[in-house]
Chain A
């Protein structure tokens, strides 16, 4: 029995958090996340969700509340956007370094200055090195489902998960969403059982100062130094793609929907021209692929769902057969190129795949980018690649560059 309702991405996220039986929520309002914070308040005040809601005075505190509540064993949730995420930056590192299974939605929005409230992905892209798993959603169904999956992943890997979805494009756009059965969700993610809980029964000082070297405890056992602890975080993240894929597979078995574990493909079987991106722009590229196919160009799309850990191995496989790759990104590593572009090129280093890669920066600060425009850009690149233009400077799509 399906229970399909028409809802916004923010509503889907709120339902995802509710179905995940979160116990502590801390949030601070910011456009375009606000509606999510409001709906969760309604759930709690209306008695639909039994959880503590801490209406904090800023995003730094929002994540701090989640960190501390998670430390005493509660399942926690928060959400933010843009400058709110940047304000959390210190605590993003703290959450990952503390190895806490926090789940947060990042409703993607461009960052100031100058101010924009509209969508791009510069906010989460610029947090890629904080030790969080980042998953990008392409529609509202995927947002709801990914939040449920995120708890399972986070609580197995002991790393926080950021569920990213495009502001307005998804957060404020109504789509049909199938709401999973709450009992099945409870089975899929049973109550969180932390391996360590800070409690008077077992007093310890957590996150104490470390010296650069390893040190023996009172029983003479040599314990981790800072570098060993940081290595363990990296090792856990390196192992996590398997957990993410297994979670996705199991989710598909139980709920009948497979969003792809690390990435998804569209018409890639015989494709020569691969378009790629994260979130809604990748989903829009599917339409562009159809247009190019109609013109006789063998185009396909790889949507990258997980940006961190970067699934280099899986992507090498996903792009097999590519004769040209066009990357659309809603963010940039200023002074160089799109962060996804750099990572993808690095993944192909030394592999058989030596397809030319062209990078397009698109849709910053909510600048509209239509499927037709993606198709035009991809076609132009494809023709250039045929004529031997392998390297091309990063192109700003739909942007007056003088």
Chain B
């Protein structure tokens, strides 16, 4: 049973009426992340969907202090906050850097790699909606094969998604976890745990995006569940090199009831031009990753 099922922080840190899109998966995830981290937190973020959620000056719906920074600089900004707070003797504050997949897989990778190598004491969160959604659904290196984006508008994306979790694990960081807003308690547990750990912690959020993925806003939770149930977005954590499935993925690994990826892909308009060859390739790719995770979970 999830550790915090009956202990979810009742306080809200995001007031109603954000500027996020209808059905935004990030709003759900961010709400639970802030509940888990609580007041003594400073957030740094680049230009991204979250920047929009944080509102237009002079008002913000977010009750946690936050610093906007430029696109490539999220993790470096966290390094600066950590160093500055240390210099000011404020070691009681959790620093969370949070950026999308474009700001993490692509433009922010250098600063993140640097901060992780230095063992910077912060939580880095990548909310992965698989494209440059804030700028209008352009392709990123996190976009999956076969997806239509505004910069792969006819032929679809030809390459698989970058395995960013492997890159982060290669930094030997203190904690690495994946989470989904469709499983909020699992997500909450992971943020509570990450808060207690020292050093660089990386949390990867799979964020369904109604406008970017072309599905009705009411289906966000369903889409997040299907991502997990097809093994496209496995839920796990890695602590001191030890891999562990969590939540729904754990029971799937035990029962072997993983769904075929078509169940997930067919519900999203972005995959409507995907050909059968790509479908097989995606299934094969997901199978390979899943088997590797399963092998590691049994070690």
Q: Is B84 a contact partner of A24 (Cβ separation < 8 A)? A: yes
**Nearest CB in chain A: distance from B122 CB, A:** 11
- Give the number of residues in B that approach A within 8 Å (Cβ atoms): 45
Partner of A209, one of B41, B56, B80, B114: B56
Contacts A54-B79, A61-B79, A202-B65: A215 and B114 contacting too (C-beta < 8 A)? Answer: no
Is the CB of B275 closer than 8 A to any CB of chain A? no
Partner of A69, one of B55, B64, B83: B83
Q: Is A64 a contact partner of B73 (Cβ separation < 8 A)? A: yes
Contact with A along B72-93 (1 / 0, CB 8 A): 1100111111011111101001
Is the CB of A55 closer than 8 A to any CB of chain B? yes
CA distance A90 to B73 in the complex (A): 10
Q: Is A90 a contact partner of B55 (Cβ separation < 8 A)? A: no
Q: Which residues of A contact B86 (CB under 8 A)?
A: 52
Q: Is A57 a contact partner of B51 (Cβ separation < 8 A)? A: no
CA distance A269 to B52 in the complex (A): 59
Q: Is A58 a contact partner of B69 (Cβ separation < 8 A)? A: no
Q: Is A51 a contact partner of B87 (Cβ separation < 8 A)? A: yes
Contact with B along A202-213 (1 / 0, CB 8 A): 111111111100
Q: Is A199 a contact partner of B87 (Cβ separation < 8 A)? A: no
Is the CB of A73 closer than 8 A to any CB of chain B? yes
Q: Is B81 a contact partner of A72 (Cβ separation < 8 A)? A: yes
Q: Is B65 a contact partner of A204 (Cβ separation < 8 A)? A: yes
Q: Which residues of B contact A335 (CB under 8 A)?
A: none
Q: Which residues of B contact A67 (CB under 8 A)?
A: 69, 77, 80
Closest chain B residue, CB of each to CB of A23: B87
Contact with B along A189-221 (1 / 0, CB 8 A): 000000000111011111111110001111000
- Give the number of residues in A that approach B within 8 Å (Cβ atoms): 46
Q: Which residues of B contact A207 (CB under 8 A)?
A: 67-69
Q: Which residues of B contact A271 (CB under 8 A)?
A: none
Contacts A60-B72, A94-B70, A208-B68: A217 and B78 contacting too (C-beta < 8 A)? Answer: no
Q: Is the interface of B mostly helix, strand, loop or mixed?
A: mixed
Closest chain B residue, CB of each to CB of A209: B56
Q: Is A94 a contact partner of B69 (Cβ separation < 8 A)? A: yes
CA distance A208 to B51 in the complex (A): 7
Is the CB of A56 closer than 8 A to any CB of chain B? yes
Q: Is A205 a contact partner of B55 (Cβ separation < 8 A)? A: yes
Contacts A60-B111, A208-B57: A200 and B70 contacting too (C-beta < 8 A)? Answer: no
CA distance A206 to B83 in the complex (A): 18
Q: Is A68 a contact partner of B41 (Cβ separation < 8 A)? A: no
Q: Which residues of A contact B85 (CB under 8 A)?
A: 72
Closest chain B residue, CB of each to CB of A53: B83
Is the CB of A137 closer than 8 A to any CB of chain B? no
Partner of A74, one of B66, B79, B87: B87
Closest chain A residue, CB of each to CB of B60: A205
Partner of B79, one of A68, A70, A205, A209: A68
Contacts A66-B80, A206-B68: A72 and B88 contacting too (C-beta < 8 A)? Answer: yes
**Nearest CB in chain B: distance from A11 CB, A:** 24
Closest chain B residue, CB of each to CB of A69: B84
Closest chain A residue, CB of each to CB of B19: A209
Q: Is A65 a contact partner of B80 (Cβ separation < 8 A)? A: yes
Partner of B65, one of A51, A55, A65, A199: A199
Is the CB of B3 closer than 8 A to any CB of chain A? no
Q: Is A72 a contact partner of B69 (Cβ separation < 8 A)? A: no
Is the CB of B135 closer than 8 A to any CB of chain A? no
CA distance A126 to B69 in the complex (A): 23
Q: Is B59 a contact partner of A72 (Cβ separation < 8 A)? A: no
Q: Which residues of B contact A198 (CB under 8 A)?
A: 42, 65, 67, 81
Q: Is B87 a contact partner of A215 (Cβ separation < 8 A)? A: no
Is the CB of B294 closer than 8 A to any CB of chain A? no
Q: Is B64 a contact partner of A211 (Cβ separation < 8 A)? A: no
Q: Is B70 a contact partner of A64 (Cβ separation < 8 A)? A: yes
Q: Which residues of B contact A141 (CB under 8 A)?
A: none
Q: Which residues of B contact A71 (CB under 8 A)?
A: 67, 80-81, 84
Is the CB of A26 closer than 8 A to any CB of chain B? yes
CA distance A25 to B296 in the complex (A): 41
Closest chain B residue, CB of each to CB of A222: B58
Is the CB of B62 closer than 8 A to any CB of chain A? yes
Is the CB of B39 closer than 8 A to any CB of chain A? yes
Q: Which residues of B contact A52 (CB under 8 A)?
A: 83-84, 86-87
Q: Which residues of A contact B76 (CB under 8 A)?
A: 56, 60-61, 64-65, 68
Closest chain A residue, CB of each to CB of B77: A68
Q: Which residues of A contact B69 (CB under 8 A)?
A: 64, 67-68, 94, 207
CA distance A57 to B67 in the complex (A): 21
CA distance A223 to B55 in the complex (A): 14
CA distance A94 to B72 in the complex (A): 12
**Nearest CB in chain A: distance from B126 CB, A:** 18
Contacts A56-B76, A72-B88: A208 and B63 contacting too (C-beta < 8 A)? Answer: no
Q: Is B42 a contact partner of A58 (Cβ separation < 8 A)? A: no
Q: Is B54 a contact partner of A208 (Cβ separation < 8 A)? A: yes
Is the CB of A276 closer than 8 A to any CB of chain B? no
Is the CB of B117 closer than 8 A to any CB of chain A? yes
Is the CB of B118 closer than 8 A to any CB of chain A? yes
**Nearest CB in chain A: distance from B143 CB, A:** 25
Q: Which residues of A contact B70 (CB under 8 A)?
A: 64, 90-91, 94
CB-CB contacts below 8 Å: A68-89 with B: 68-74, 76
Q: Which residues of A contact B113 (CB under 8 A)?
A: 57
Please, could you name 16 A-B residue pairs with CB atoms under 8 Å apart, sorted by A?
A24-B83, A26-B79, A65-B83, A68-B69, A68-B78, A68-B80, A71-B67, A71-B80, A74-B84, A74-B87, A203-B65, A205-B55, A208-B60, A209-B51, A215-B57, A223-B58
Question: Nearest 4 CB-CB pairs, A to B?
Answer: A68-B80, A69-B84, A57-B114, A61-B76
B binding-site residues for A, Cβ under 8 Å: 39-42, 44, 51-52, 54-60, 62-70, 72-73, 76-81, 83-88, 90, 93, 110-111, 113-114, 117-118
**Given A68-B77, A69-B80, 16 other A-B residues pairs in contact with their CB atoms under 8 A:** A60-B73, A61-B73, A61-B76, A65-B76, A67-B69, A69-B83, A69-B84, A74-B88, A198-B42, A199-B42, A200-B40, A205-B68, A206-B66, A207-B67, A208-B54, A223-B57
A binding-site residues for B, Cβ under 8 Å: 23-24, 26, 51-52, 54-58, 60-61, 64-74, 76, 90-91, 94, 198-200, 202-211, 215-218, 223-224
